[in-house]
Amino acid sequence: MSQSVLLMLDWNYYKEVSEQVLKSDKRLLFFDYDGTLMPLVKFPSLSAPNEDVIRVLSRLTSDKKNNVVIISGRDSNTIGKWLGNLNLIVVAEHGALIKYPGQKWEKLVVENEEWKKDILSVMETISQKCQGSFIEEKSFTLAWHYRNAGVEEGNFYSRKLFHALSDMVRDTALQVLEGNKIIEVRFTNVNKGVIAKKIENEIKPDFVMAIGDDRTDEDMFTALGSDSVTIKIGPGKTAAAFKLSDQEDVIKLLKNLFLKNEN
């Protein structure tokens, strides 16, 4: 295992996980996309998977013991275009849509866009005041990104927006979620924990791993429980069993655990 990854993972923990991988016959592997498989970039459209990510995912899915799931907040068109042709399960918008290998997208939420109008209006007002921020509209969610704003300005307006939206959605089926430089509004019953547990119950694996970097991944870590190998990327409190400090080490870890012949 590479020295850089060893410095961040407790050796005994890594050894235990490695032994679990070797003994398992049906593995279920959940990977968040932005901030996990790929680094966060200025604009979401610029984060297409690189050759190394595609190669690793292809190698993982070629092993019949592995069931790979990309579980993302991305819209279905984008994540489907990038990864939909691989032999894996793709989840979009935190669980609102799912695509099984070789099949079409399945909507898990009743489509209703009436709620977006007022939420969008508030986001637009904040965006006009916070230079560098932008809005991303998806089928079932609305997201306000401030990764390109100044640190103080972004933090200030993110708090204002969070409180304003929280008041708006009180006593509704919507919720406001804080992520990594993002404020997102989505349906309360749609989250990575719900869909991850659904997939786990379908596949019935003997080994489960989940890796993510965001607040939305905490739902997945909690739902999968202590019997699963859960890893949080970056700082902050987490329900995950362990942490990796750097997104760049995710691919290295996967190569060392599952693809022994990879450099």
Instruction: Write the pLDDT tens digit of every residue in 63-90.
Output: 999 999 999 999 999 999 999 999 999 9
The residue with greater pLDDT, 226 or 24, is 24
Does residue 208 sit in the same domain as residue 87? yes
Does residue 98 sit in the same domain as residue 204? yes
227 is catalytic: no
Instruction: Write the pLDDT tens digit of every residue in 162-214.
Output: 999 999 999 998 999 888 889 999 888 889 999 999 999 999 999 999 999 98
The H-or-E segment that residue 231 falls in is strand 229-233
Distance CA(195)–CA(105), nearest Å, equals 14
Distance CA(152)–CA(112), nearest Å, equals 35
Which candidate in 10, 25, 32, 219 is catalytic? 32
Residue 70 sits in a domain whose CATH number is 3.40.50.1000
Does residue 96 sit in the same domain as residue 156? no
Q: Per the domain annotation, does 43 fall within a domain?
A: yes
The domain of 164 spans 116-187
Q: Per the domain annotation, does 263 fall within a domain?
A: no
Instruction: Write the pLDDT tens digit of every residue in 126-145.
Output: 999 999 999 999 888 899 99
Does residue 46 sit in the same domain as residue 149? no
Distance CA(111)–CA(107), nearest Å, equals 8
Dihedral of the CA atoms 1, 24, 99, 213 (nearest 10)? -40
